[in-house]
Amino acid sequence: MDFFEAQARAKKRTSRLVALFAVAVLGTVAAGYFGTIVGLRATDNYHPRRAGYRRYQVYDRESGPPPSLWQPGVLAVVTLGTLAIIGLASLYKWNELAGGGAAVAESVGGRRVDPHTTDLAERRLLNVVEEMAIASGVPVPAVYVLPDEPAINAFAAGLTTSDAVVAVTHGTMQKLTRDELQGVVGHEFSHILNGDMRLNMRLTAIVFGILVLGIAGRGVLWSLRGARFSSRGKNGGGAVAAIALAGIALLVIGYVGYFFGRLIQAAVSRQREFLADASSVQFTRNPAGLTGALKKIGGYALGSSLESTKSAALGHFFFAQGFTSMFGGAWATHPPLAERIRAIDPQFDGRMFDPPEMVDVTHESFVAAGLAPAQPKFHEPPRAATTSHIPPALHPIQAVASIGTLSAEQIANAQALLDSTPDGLRTAARTPVGAAVLLYGLLLDDTDPAVRAKQRALVASRAGGEALHLLDDLDPAFRALKPEHRLPLLQLALPALRTLQPSALSPFLDTLDELVHADDHVSTFEFALQKLLIRTLALGREPNAAVVQIYSFNAVTDEIAIVLSALAHASSNADMDAAAAFAAGAAQLKLVESRLAFLEPSACDLTALDAALDKLAVASGPIKQRTLVAAAHVVGADGQILVAEAELLRAVAAALDCPMPPLLAAA
């Protein structure tokens, strides 16, 4: 799966979604128009008398002909009114979802998993998510569990990889093995990497906008539940009847649109599930893990059915069908289980998982029946076979080609990196205070005692004595740390750092900046750490800031030259070698190759690089892709990967919102 191709497909699907949405809106407008015409004709057929109202009568010359079925003025009013209501409702829902993946997970009762949890099932889930994130190069998503859902299901939500969350039901943790859980999480990571999450969010807002007329009608009828219908008095039953008729009309009109909206939701969702299944198998190279999870859904009585009615609007987010469809397959957001299993295993004989006994879930829980332990007795299986063979480091060109993908080798490398990371540092990364101290420690100077003393004094004055004490406790672990662990540790720390309030975040970032500049020099690692951190936190807080504004290579030629020149100087100390590396990268950009000039170090320093990356961040996907391919050729021109250039290349990719896996293998 090509990351940039997947993003382009997501945009095409969005365009198709807009077209389908227009059809649904037209259906709603048509229903509203004809409902209004019927109402006008009925109203015109009533004529007042002293005693009240007459029933329908045949029109005569005095009363005139009935209102025409074609009334452009009425159509214009109905159209504008419908568009205004649907548009405002969709904007309201989109604004509600703008909080990112966490807002979605919490809206359906999700509870964030404590990074220090002692629950072994939750610990296993966190480990699987961390491995997938490190392997793919994305920031580690926040992990949520739906504690009141005993069925097997999961979802990923967010607007970007920086605000993504992975949520699973309690039943998923109880009933799946580690391989099966990894298959499910791999499926959700496919949605994270190929742009499905943002499409899902848009789809939710659109369907809500179409449904809002039906909700309004239902509200009107509910408000009249205690009203009496009477024909006596000025404000008698006539007014109540008119309001009731209006409510019924709104309900019918709204659900006409809702019907089409659900069809759109189902049609957009189903095909993506096959792609996500295939990607999960590609990621893990373990088809039995994913098919085992699907067979358990088919075998258990609860399957993947969700109990929360709040989750109905998010049916297209989930790993498997969460609700019984009122219109059979037409409204089903997921393909049938047997089709999904057979797409992975053509030899599937149709037999699902056979639970050890039947459970009446209305009277007895899985725990009470003994099908799931109250405190899981499993533990993380040893991974000696994985860590005994360390995959080789990725070549830069391979790393760029693998952006947005996962492989068994990458996952094995991530497991090896995590297993060889000092436990104290992994523990510190799981709390806001510990994560902040962890980053302080990564920036401490190891070569100049005077600079290190100055940095420690900065930590004490800006973060307090407690932070300095924790820093001293972690000092042995920092000294044992290898270069390849540094950026993965930042990835592990990001979920905790995202929880910092603005009042705490700003002083923390200021302290980091002072630590970086304590020696009046910014190294490539220091630049990479700050760029990765600030970009990820900014998108996590304002995911809608990820917009495309530049579509022409000519508009960013100077910025591309700065990026390639900076990487060329980082990859070599010899001017001739640097120029050759730059030329190797520029040759990948035939459209602008003649305009790309190799720059002196002073013209492409880290300050210039920072500004160039900020501009390239709003460029289109093809520009980012070709720029990264060129950058990879610069880094790989001499056939070796230096730590500095590997970290700088990952910083460039992260600044362009393109997740790149680690280039350095665990030692």
How many whole angstroms separate alpha carbon 630 and alpha carbon 249? 60
CB of 15 closer than 8 Å to CB of 200:
no
Give the orientation angle of helix 237-284 with respect to helix 3-44, to 10 degrees.
170
3-state secondary structure of 432: helix
How far is the CA of 361 from the CAs of 110, 290, 300, in angstroms? 21, 25, 11
CB atoms < 10 A from the CB of 118, how many?
8
CB of 281 closer than 8 Å to CB of 287:
yes
3-state secondary structure of 166: strand
149 is catalytic: no
Query: Which of 188, 273, 559, 647 is flagged as catalytic?
Result: 188
Backbone φ/ψ region at 348: left (φ over 0), alpha (ψ -120 to 50), beta: beta
404-436 b/e with 16+ CB inside 10 Å = b? bbbbebbbbbbbbbbebbbebbbebbbbbbbbb
Parallel/antiparallel/unpaired status of strands 142-146 and 154-157: unpaired
Specify the residue for token string 């189903």. 270
How many whole angstroms separate alpha carbon 206 and alpha carbon 554? 36
Closest CA to 558 of 595, 594, 610, 531: 595
3-state secondary structure of 430: coil
How far is the CA of 132 from the CAs of 101, 181, 229, 463, 654, in angstroms? 18, 12, 63, 32, 17
How far is the CA of 481 from the CAs of 137, 451, 534, in angstroms? 20, 20, 23
Catalytic site positions? 188
